[in-house]
Amino acid sequence: MITEEKQISIIIVEDFKLTRVGLRCALNANPDLNVVAECENAVDGIKEIEKLQPDVVLMDLGLPVMNGIEAILKIREHSSDIKIIALTSHDREEEVVAALSSGANAYCLKDIDPNKLADVIRDVAQGVCWIDPVVANLALKSIPKSENISMLTHQAPEQARVPLTEREFEVLKHLVAGKSNTEIAKELIVSVHTAKAHVCSILQKMCVNDRVQAAVKAVKEGIV
């Protein structure tokens, strides 16, 4: 039986009541997830977050008075430990970049499957960065590839490319597609622990801090 101490505490900041209720019901159906508060605006949300110190915050971006980006910045002024998931219907590149730059750990579109959202929350709570695959592809495709990098790849591939194993290269391709550790494990038929170990090795070899940086670097340098 999962104890209360092992539950992931969640605060929802969303201005539409129906959406808040739907999220709460869907997430609380999982014994390891616990919605501890719901707020209809960012001002109230920040107060509840400071008071309750949840593990994860689901933050809508299109909020009145103070938008989600501003709220994330405010939260990050006081806490770097709370995980924040931007949950929005917008798939514009500028909003993805703004959300992640302001300190969001994940970017989810609101049409995400509830079970998938639960998995994302679990991964993010463990320190994983996650971007909806649709948005990730849009953002990564917009990054211009340098001609100099292309030339370097042809002239000295051993210097231009990161020394990944064949399996790590497979995992990296899934990272670029925006997949979580759980999804990667299912694709490669390995345990989640093994998938996470591969991801950690990739981050170390690529000299980056998180999955998002690894995906961006992989595209910019033509690794995948």
pLDDT value of position 192: 85
Assess whether 18 and 92 both reside in one domain. Answer: yes
Assess whether 81 and 174 both reside in one domain. Answer: no
Per-residue pLDDT tens digits of the chain, which is 224 residues long? 344 457 999 999 999 999 999 999 999 999 999 999 999 999 999 999 999 999 999 999 999 889 999 999 999 988 888 999 999 887 777 788 788 878 899 999 999 999 999 999 999 998 888 888 877 766 565 555 544 444 444 444 443 456 788 888 888 888 888 888 888 889 888 888 888 888 888 888 888 878 887 887 887 777 77
pLDDT value of position 45: 96
Assess whether 129 and 147 both reside in one domain. Answer: no
Assess whether 165 and 96 both reside in one domain. Answer: no
pTM higher than 0.85: no
Domain-terminating residue out of 139, 163, 192 = 139
Segments in the chain forming alpha helices (H): 17-28, 42-52, 68-78, 93-102, 114-125, 133-141, 147-155, 157-160, 166-176, 181-188, 192-206, 211-220
Assess whether 27 and 82 both reside in one domain. Answer: yes
What order of strands is seen across the sheet that includes strand 130-131?
A: 33-39, 8-13, 56-60, 83-88, 106-109, 130-131
Assess whether 168 and 80 both reside in one domain. Answer: no
Assess whether 208 and 147 both reside in one domain. Answer: yes
Domain-terminating residue out of 88, 107, 139 = 139
* 3-18 core/surface letters (b: 16 or more CB in 10 A; e: else): eeeebbbbbbbbeeee
When computed from its CA atoms, the radius of gyration of the chain, rounded to whole angstroms, is 18
Q: Residues 68, 73, 78, 83: what is their CA dihedral angle, to the nearest 10 degrees?
A: 60
Instruction: Return phi, psi of residue 64, to 5°.
Output: -75, 160
Q: Supply the range of the domain harboring residue 149.
A: 143-220
Q: Residues 10, 25, 180, 193: what is their CA dihedral angle, to the nearest 10 degrees?
A: 80
Assess whether 104 and 17 both reside in one domain. Answer: yes
pLDDT value of position 67: 92
Q: How many structural domains is the chain composed of?
A: 2
Residue type, 186: K
Domain-terminating residue out of 139, 168, 192 = 139
Assess whether 134 and 65 both reside in one domain. Answer: yes
Assess whether 213 and 167 both reside in one domain. Answer: yes
Cβ atoms of residues 8 and 121 within 8 Å: yes
CATH code for the domain in which residue 169 is found: 3.40.50.2300
Cβ atoms of residues 88 and 110 within 8 Å: yes
Assess whether 121 and 173 both reside in one domain. Answer: no
How many angstroms separate the CA atoms of 64 and 184, rounded? 37
Of the candidates 81, 87, 115, 91, the residue with the CA atom closest to the CA atom of residue 15: 87
Assess whether 135 and 187 both reside in one domain. Answer: no
